[in-house]
Amino acid sequence: MQIETLRTSMKKPSKILLLDGGISTELEKSLAARGSGTSNDDDDDDDDDSGACIHTSTAPVKFPDRNLWSSSLLLSHKGRLDIQSRHENFLAAGSNIITTVTYQLSHFATRFGYTEEQIDDLLLIAIHQAKAAAASFHDHDHDHAKPKGVDEKTFIVASIGCYGAVLADGSEYTGDYQLSVDDLIQFHQRRLEVLSRESNQIDGIAFETIPSLIEVRAILKLLKLKTKPRPKQDEGASSRSGCNRDVNGAVWLSLACQNGSTLNDGTSISEVLQVLDLEDPNSDIVHGIGVNCCKVGFVHELSLLLARHILDTRTSTIRDSDIKNLNPKAIRTIVLYPNSGEDWDAVNNCWEEGSGCTIAEDFANEMLRCIRSIHNLCREMDRPLLPVIVGGCCRTTPSTIWEMRRKLNQYACDEEFIK
């Protein structure tokens, strides 16, 4: 039997996959608890069962190196074990997909004294920790019942953060880089090349929290270069198509938005989607499009905007008789993973209530509302149900993901079309 890949899963109508939550903010909480003497290292899932706001100390929690943020934990054995433990917590909560702790890990760090080879190694270590977590979780599933909806396969996606993330100055919230497309290609290129060489170890790559149209253009241009078919080197290494590609597996692009219709740099989401369709008309290089690291209150409007665009522009030419046999190339998966609803108070260095949905059940209900609305729109337009990936970003916890898994399982029982 052929094993389903993430890429093929993302082309299946009605498919719903559950992503992990905010692993970096979970690690941050763990360090804060350990520093205050309240953490038990042997069992340190310290999220509150309600998912409610948990304020950090008034002193900012410090990772070993602020320039690498949570990725700096990869520098030590203890840090690596902490990362693996948090991955396992999200898997136990019901995640189908976990993302590597590499969001702020790039070769820009050579400016801070690291070598390119050191960054290469840390990227590989991050993949190893995610794989080790998946192996441990599945090897020990006899010790605890896996949540319904979690298959034997865990998908591992490598996280690539935006340029603004490495500046650590909030630029990902504005997208105001003052850089050219070529500058941004150079920034992303080596990291993408390193991760692409590990295509047999990962299932996909996520470009996350992209705040500006110019960075979207740069990523698309780079992906087109790296996914261009090249002559096979030997028969054993060839793909079914007879060509090798530098980038294999699934790729999604996740946008950072300031409201329900606009990128952080002020570009309309509609314009971004038009550029994406122009550069990648057959979804050959970008298989999912979505939003992350934004307020959860924006996501419903954004999800419908994405769905309506995909349904209007990518399925409108299909004959009615072919609707149920839609060519997978005609669709992209919608990917949604907003923040918990808390806002960062930069004056007092703590998280505050913010935009709502800080309680896990409220967050899960809002995400399920997005899925239902997407599916209802598909039905109204007599189109196949679009595939969706949902999860959480900053301050979403294993409790959040557990509640989402519970809601998704209920939805699957209520709606017979979910398989």
Annotated binding-site residues for Zn(2+) read: 293, 393-394
* 168 Rama class: left (phi>0) / alpha (psi -120 to 50) / beta: left
Strands (DSSP E) contained in 126-280 are 155-161, 204-210, 230-231, 243-244, 250-255
Q: The tokens of 270 are what?
A: 């509609």
- Burial of residue 144 (CB within 10 Å: 0-12, 13-18, 19+) is exposed
Check if the beta carbon of residue 315 is closer than 8 Å to that of residue 331. yes
Distance between CA atoms of residues 38 and 148, nearest Å: 32
Distance between CA atoms of residues 62 and 68, nearest Å: 11
Q: The tokens of 92 are what?
A: 């136990």
Find the helix or strand (DSSP H, E) in which 182 lies.
helix 181-196
- Burial of residue 128 (CB within 10 Å: 0-12, 13-18, 19+) is middle
- Residue numbers in the known binding site are 293, 393-394
Check if the beta carbon of residue 119 is closer than 8 Å to that of residue 107. yes
Q: How far is CA 235 from CA 10, 197, 226, 405, in A?
A: 28, 18, 21, 42
Distance between CA atoms of residues 261 and 272, nearest Å: 11
Which residue type does 215 have?
E
